[in-house]
Structure 1
Amino acid sequence: MNNRLVKMLQIASTYMGTIVGAGFATGQEILQFFTRFGYWGSFTIALATGLFIWLGTKMMLIASEIKAKSYEDLNIALFGERYGKLISLFMLVILLGVTAVMLAGAGTIFYEHWNISYQAGLLITIAGSFLLLRKGMKAILAVNAVVVPVMLLFTVIVMIDTFNTPGSNKFITLTTDYSPWAAWASPFLYTAFNLALAQAVLVPLGAEIRDKKTIVAGSWIGGLGIGFMLLAGHIALSVHMPGIQQFAIPMGGIARQLGYYVQFIYIFLIFSEIFTTLIADIYGLTLQLEERTKWSRGLLTFVILFICYLASQIGFGPLLSTLYPMFGLISLGWLFLIIRKRVSYRRS
């Protein structure tokens, strides 16, 4: 029983840590996908939470059933042999780009907040990633076991402060000029985009767990945790609307109001989110490339980190601005196919 509980919590924390990335922690994702739609945001967060529970569960159950070695195996099961490989190749490029951006973001945190040079920050992050990833999935589980409780602590602190602030119920009355159609399309786009990226780590995680009831329970806990943090961020941001929209890091302005120590936790949280996304993406990439090249996982990790280090010197914005719209459209198709895919809920 205790072993099952541990696995459930590992699935939940890894699910939350993978979905709740740096964009989430800064508040930009919550603002763009939910808060700017006013009072509709609370309802669409509820819908997104349901989708995360349902489709996250399905993804890991399919991975468990087909004993997927990487996300390409899942895509082949969803799209067929030909298109599944094309989608996986496209995802490989996207993940490489996202990984380079995460590495550059980590270097920026070191430089702007901890008075350590950008290059030193990159090298420290690379060294930490390489050492941790030698342990494979165990490293991702361990890092998320630390990061996710800190995220939840910060969320609770923000919630308590928000409810002690005048206008804390603004999320109920906040109006918007956006169409309800745009508001209700947003949770589908948000879920599709995040789950499509998260499959790089959730697929091998699901494949490792043979007990389907454990997968279902872990996905429920993780999905509800994501929904709670989305709602907490939405309520906090709503209090400061519309002025909060001018900030590049909306949650940073809220954190500064809570004092030095909370702000320190927030900066640590941003770095931790970047780091968890970084190692999760690298892990997914190594599994994918291992099947294609037959190189050792250690060598592939080193090669990926080296490529990302080179890319972080020049920035990756133009490439991502081109690929992300296309990836969003493909993610919606991927979401539709995973909804249609039938899966057994029997315990193995």
Structure 2
Amino acid sequence: MQKRTSKVLQIASTYMGTIVGAGFATGQEILQFFTRFGYWGTITIAFATVLFIWLGTKMMIIASEIRANSYEDLNKALFGDKYGRLISLFMLVILLGVTAVMLAGAGTIFYEHWNIAYQVGLLITMAGSFLLLRKGMKSILAVNAIVVPTMLLFTVFVMIHTFHTPGSAKFLTLSTDYSPWAALASPFLYTAFNLSLAQAVLVPLGAEIRDRKTIVMGSWLGGIGIGFMLLAGHIALSLHMPGIQQFAIPMGGIARQLGQYVQFIYMFLIFAEIFTTLIANIYGLTLQLKERTSWSREWLTIAVLLLCYLASQIGFGPLLSTLYPLFGLISLGWLILMIRRRVTFRNS
């Protein structure tokens, strides 16, 4: 029982840590996908939470059922062998780009908030990633076991502060000029984008677990945790609408009001969330590349880091604005096939 509980917590923390990346932690994703739709935001967050619970569970169960070695095996099961290979190749390129975005984001934090040169920040992040990834999945589980509870505590702190502020119920009455149809589409777009990215680490994680109940319980706990943090961020951002939209890091604007030390902790958490997403993506990429080459995992990790380093010279902003919309297009088709796929998992 104790072993199952430990596995459940590992799945939940890894799920949350993979989804709660830089865009989530900064508040930009919450603002763009939920808060700008006013009172609809609370309803759409509930939809997104259901999708995260349902499809996150489904993804890991399929991975366990087919004994997937990488996300390419999952895509073959969803798209068929021929198209699965093409989709996986496309995702390989995009994941490299997204990983470069994460690395560039880490370098930007070093430069803009800690007065350390951008290039030095990149090299420090790369060195930390390489050392941790030598331990494989264990390193991802260990990092998320620290970062996710800390992020949850910070989220609870912000939520308590918000409820003690006049007008804290603004999220229930906040008006919007956007169509209800645009609001209802947002949870599908949000979960499609994030789950298609998360498969790089959730597929190999699910493949390691042979017990259905452990996967289901871990996914439920992780999905609920994601929903809770989305709601807490939405409530806090709604209180400061519409002015909060002018900030590049909206949650940073809220953290600044809570004091210098809180703001420092928050910036460290943003870096930690970027870092967890970075190592998760690199791990998934190396598993995928290992099926296509004869290189060792360590040399593949070095190759991926070097490619991302070269791409990160373009800069955080240009990479983000170019690659994310492109990846969002394929994510919707992937989500539809995930919904349609039937699961016939056998208990072992």
Shorter-chain-normalised TM-score: which range? over 0.9
Q: Unaligned stretches of 5+ in structure 1?
A: none
Q: Tell me the residue number matched to 1:245.
A: 245
2:296 & 2:315 partners in 1: Cα distance? 28
The Cα of 1:322 is off from its aligned counterpart by: 4.2
Partners of 1:169 and 1:320 in 2: CA distance: 33
Structure 1 residues 185-194 or 118-127, which shifts more? 118-127
Residue 262, structure 1, aligned to residue 280, structure 2? no
Match of 2:291, SS state, is helix
Counterpart for residue 17 of structure 2:
17
SS of residue matched to 1:200: helix
Q: Distance in 1 between matches of 2:256 and 2:104?
A: 24
| Shift, 1:169, TM fit | 0.1
For the Cα contact (< 8 Å) 1:53–1:220, is it kept in 2? yes
Q: Which amino acid aligns with 1:326?
A: L
Q: Which stretch of the first structure deviates more once superposed, 65-74 or 305-314?
A: 305-314
Displacement after TM superposition at 1:247 (Å): 0.8
1:311-341 Cα offsets, whole Å, 9 max, x none, are 1123365565444333222111111111111
User: Match for residue 112 of structure 1?
Assistant: 112
Q: Per-residue deviation at 1:105?
A: 1.1
Provide the secondary structure at the position in 1 that maps to 2:168. Answer: coil
Q: Is residue 2:70 matched to residue 1:95? A: no
Aligned to 2:182: 182
Instruction: Determine the C-alpha separation between the residues in 2 that align with 1:91 and 1:320.
Output: 16
Provide the C-alpha distance between the structure 1 equivalents of 2:239 and 2:316, rounded to a whole number of angstroms: 34
What amino acid is the match of 2:342?
R
C-alpha distance in structure 2 between counterparts of 1:308 and 1:315, whole Å: 11
RMSD value over aligned CA atoms?
A: 1.1
Distance 1:225 1:4, change over 3 A: same
The amino acid that maps onto 2:211 is D
Q: Which amino acid aligns with 1:96?
A: L
What's the counterpart of residue 224 of structure 2? 224
**Equivalent residue, structure 2, for 1:305:** 305
Q: Which AA in structure 2 matches 1:162? A: T
Look up the SS of the partner of 2:258 in the other structure. coil
Superposition deviation, residue 262 in structure 1: 1.1
Q: Partners of 1:167 and 1:15 in 2: how far apart?
A: 33
CA distance in 1, matches of 2:97, 2:147: 23
List aligned pairs for 1:107-256, cutoff 5 A. Answer: 107-256=107-256
Is the contact between residue 94 and residue 323 of structure 2 (CA under 8 Å) also seen in structure 1?
A: yes
Task: String of CA shifts for 1:238-287, please: whole Å, max 9, x gaps.
Answer: 00001111111100010001112211110111000110010001001000
SS of corresponding position for 1:292: coil
1:7 paired with 2:7, answer yes
Deviates most, 307-316 or 317-326:
317-326
Residue of structure 1 in register with 2:333 after alignment: 333
Q: Counterparts in 2 of 1:251-290, with a 5 A limit? A: 251-290=251-290
Which residues of structure 2 form unaligned runs of 5+?
none
- 8 Å CA contact 1:171–1:238 kept in 2: the answer is yes
| Cα deviation digits, residues 158-177 of structure 1 (max 9, x gap) | 00110011110000000100
Alignment size in residue pairs: 348
Q: Please say if 1:72 is aligned against 2:72.
A: yes
Counterpart residue number, 1:28 = 28
Contact 1:213/1:347 (<8 A) preserved = no
Name the aligned partner's letter for residue 218 of structure 1. Answer: G
- For residue 55 of structure 2, what is the aligned residue in structure 1? 55
Task: Indicate if the aligned counterparts of 1:103 and 1:308 stay in contact, CA closer than 8 A.
Answer: yes
- SS of structure 2 residue aligned to 1:151: helix
2:97–2:323 contact (8 Å) kept in structure 1 = no
Q: Tell me: CA distance 1:62–1:144, structure 2 relative to 1, closer, same or farther (3 Å).
A: same
Given that residues 101 and 320 in structure 2 are in contact (C-alpha distance below 8 angstroms), is that contact kept between their aligned partners in structure 1?
Answer: no
Q: 1:97·1:316 contact (CA, 8 Å) conserved in 2?
A: no
Structure 2 letter corresponding to 1:260: Q
Task: Give the Cα separation in 2 of the matches to 1:319 and 1:116.
Answer: 21
Distance 1:271 1:320 in 2: 16
- Name the CA shift for 1:318/1:114 in 2 (closer, same or farther; >3 Å): closer
The superposition leaves residues 180-238 of structure 1 with CA deviations (integer Å, 9 ceiling, x where unpaired) of: 00000000000000000000000000000011110000000000000000000000000
Deviations for 1:114-158, whole angstroms, at most 9, x for unmatched residues?
Answer: 222222111111110000000000000000000001110110010
